[in-house]
Chains A and B, each alone.
Chain A
Amino acid sequence: MTRLIALLIAVATIASATVALSQSFNVRLGSTKGPEQPIAFSHKIHAGLLEMDCKYCHYGAANSPWANIPAVSTCMGCHKFAVTDRPEVQKLAGYWERGEQVPWVKVHYTPDHVKFNHKRHVRAGLECQTCHGPVQEMDRVYQYSSLKMGWCVTCHRQNLDNPKFPASMDCLVCHH
């Protein structure tokens, strides 16, 4: 009888503790696989092998709060000529000819009440990889960081006294 009670209590305690802790750590959600994209675009090839500048395609990153997904026209800029024989490139060409936009699947999530500003971070000299991980090694991009508030805050707190670009701990900076 008493054992039973003891057991119940123990289980309950452990359960709640686990919940609390899993909250406390920045457990990364999502797998390292990343979602399947309509076109198997490989950052490994473009950013890694060809060493293209991220901002060539994601041209908003340094000038706008939004990094932006490159327009189909941007892709076609090269792929009109480059490796047109590859099936994936032909898929792309197909979209272009049909005048359709490529329905890329979203990889990185922040809730709508978070106002993240790419421009500020890029101009403060952050590498894309700091948050997005080794994209140049990813065939299929996955969400590298948890993008949870704790994750943001940790970095911000470390840079509170950054001489050139002091980070802010003010909630309003992201929530307004």
Chain B
Amino acid sequence: MSQNPTVAAHEDPEKRPITQASLNDDVMKLISLPGKIWWAAFLLDLLVLAVALGAVRNLIVHGWGVSGFMRPVMWAVDITNFVFWVGIAHCGTLVSAVLFLFRSHFRRAVYRIAEAMTVFGVLTAAMFPAIHTGRPWFDYWLFPYPNQRQLWTNVRSPLEWDVFAVNTYLTVSSIFFLVGLIPDVAAVRDRAKHPLMKFLYTLLSFGWTGANYQWKHFYGAYLFFAALATPLVFSVHSVVSWDFAMAQTPGWHSTLFAPYFVAGAIFSGVAMVINLLIPIRKAFKLEHIVTIDHMEKLAKLVLLTSCMVGYSYLTEFFMAWFGPNAAERDVFWFRATGHYWWAFWTMFSCNVIFPLLLWLKPFRRNMTAMFILCIFVNIGMWFERFVIIVTSLTRSFNPANWFYYKMSFTEVCLIVGSFAWFFMFFLVFVRVLPAFSIAEIKETLPMPKRKGGHA
């Protein structure tokens, strides 16, 4: 692919000029035959995934006994991962749909990555409810379909709501993602050499020619889907939170959960976007497309949601102390001081204390610091779910059943594997689809001169 001649080592990457031409080159230079590093990363990823699949195989063949689960802790890492990845998935739609509706322009540079993350995030998340059952081969019973047994599903069960919430979200976010891709894929199509790739791009670009009426319909559709997706951001994670809130287990049974989970989801999601963007813009020298200002705006989003999450934590404890339920009080006291205190304090410091640094501008504009911080945030958010699930179950109503859950190798595989699964999609995505929205960024560029410009 043609390297942009204007790039020189010494000059400030932020200041690099963007022209219609250079933009296409810059974005599409990602889409090239993958190099050694990419392959290395990809194969490593698959290797990890293979190990994880081995663990899953054991779960299915031998039963969940191979995990560390026991009574009373019958959910732990499985649902933790589920909620974690659904959370990750949330930011995508938020950034692309909500910010689109608010016309906040900094999204243009970042939303493609975010959306991809959403789709892959949901794909990862959806696996866990599926494999966490004792008899996964009967999972299809969770779908209401006419059957000769004349049995129906229990629509009172939050798990049943999950089935619908997650599927809806997957469908809508994928469509949204694919629609947004159309013009860019068309551009890629026009450059594609390999017949197979050309064929695939043709499929995805739905015969896009860039005609005026197409643009008209495109933006119509895009607006429509944005509007459709926006409520989902809030509904889906609320439903997920009700898996817990609807149960009466102390530590779960709380009306706070829906907003608390949504905030948390966006929090972890944005952090994840940052974690993905920073290396990409560095590796592919796209600092002039995804500028520091863009990143800083994301950082502010992190800071905001961090505060919301922190507030939720404090509220939970306040309510436990203020409310009449002794069991509830026990659970929260146990969280902070009991057997899993380390998990709790990891969560608290990663999600509430460290992000406070973002009040300082230098931190928001220092990519290294941001990267590390966001890693912490993601760790913290994973532990948040772990703490909610495990500590609550460990300390349920009947003291005769208080036992401590110990993680086994299987669960470690599930955690690592979920990341491998996610990055498998992501690595491919970066190589085959435009990771930044050419079309939308171009809107911000001056119209090209007659001469020497690419269409």
Chain B residues, Cβ within 8 Å of A1: 202-203
Interface of chain A: mostly helix, strand, loop or mixed: helix
Most A C-beta atoms less than 10 A away, residue of B145, B147, B148, B150: B148
Task: Using CB atoms, name the residue of chain A closest to B199.
Answer: A1
Query: How distant is the Cα of A150 from the Cα of B202 in the complex, in angstroms?
Result: 48
Query: How distant is the Cα of A21 from the Cα of B157 in the complex, in angstroms?
Result: 26
Task: Using CB atoms, name the residue of chain B closest to A5.
Answer: B203
Task: Using CB atoms, name the residue of chain A closest to B149.
Answer: A149
Chain A residues, Cβ within 8 Å of B147: 20, 23-24, 150
Q: Is A26 an interface position by the 8 A CB rule?
A: yes
Query: How distant is the Cα of A151 from the Cα of B148 in the complex, in angstroms?
Result: 8
Chain B residues, Cβ within 8 Å of A20: 145-147
Task: Using CB atoms, name the residue of chain B closest to A146.
Answer: B148
Q: Is A153 an interface position by the 8 A CB rule?
A: yes
- Residues of B179-220 whose CB lies within 8 A of A: 202-203
B145 and A149 contacting across the interface, CB-CB below 8 Å: no
B148 and A149 contacting across the interface, CB-CB below 8 Å: yes
Binary B-proximity of A1-34 (CB < 8 A = 1, otherwise 0): 1000100000000000000110111100000000
Interface size on B, residues (CB 8 A): 8
B146 and A153 contacting across the interface, CB-CB below 8 Å: no
A25 and B148 contacting across the interface, CB-CB below 8 Å: yes
Chain B residues, Cβ within 8 Å of A151: 148
Chain B residues, Cβ within 8 Å of A23: 145-148
Query: How distant is the Cα of A20 from the Cα of B140 in the complex, in angstroms?
Result: 12
Chain A residues, Cβ within 8 Å of B203: 1, 5
Query: How distant is the Cα of A150 from the Cα of B146 in the complex, in angstroms?
Result: 11
**Would you give the shortest CB distance from A158 to chain B, in whole angstroms?**
13
B148 and A150 contacting across the interface, CB-CB below 8 Å: yes
Task: Using CB atoms, name the residue of chain B closest to A24.
Answer: B146
Chain A residues, Cβ within 8 Å of B202: 1
Q: Given A20-B146, A21-B146, list of 9 further CB < 8 A pairs?
A: A20-B145, A23-B146, A25-B148, A26-B148, A148-B149, A149-B150, A150-B149, A151-B148, A153-B150
Binding site for A on B (CB under 8 A): 145-150, 202-203
A-B pairs with the 9 shortest C-beta distances? Answer: A150-B148, A149-B149, A24-B146, A23-B147, A153-B150, A150-B150, A23-B148, A148-B148, A150-B149
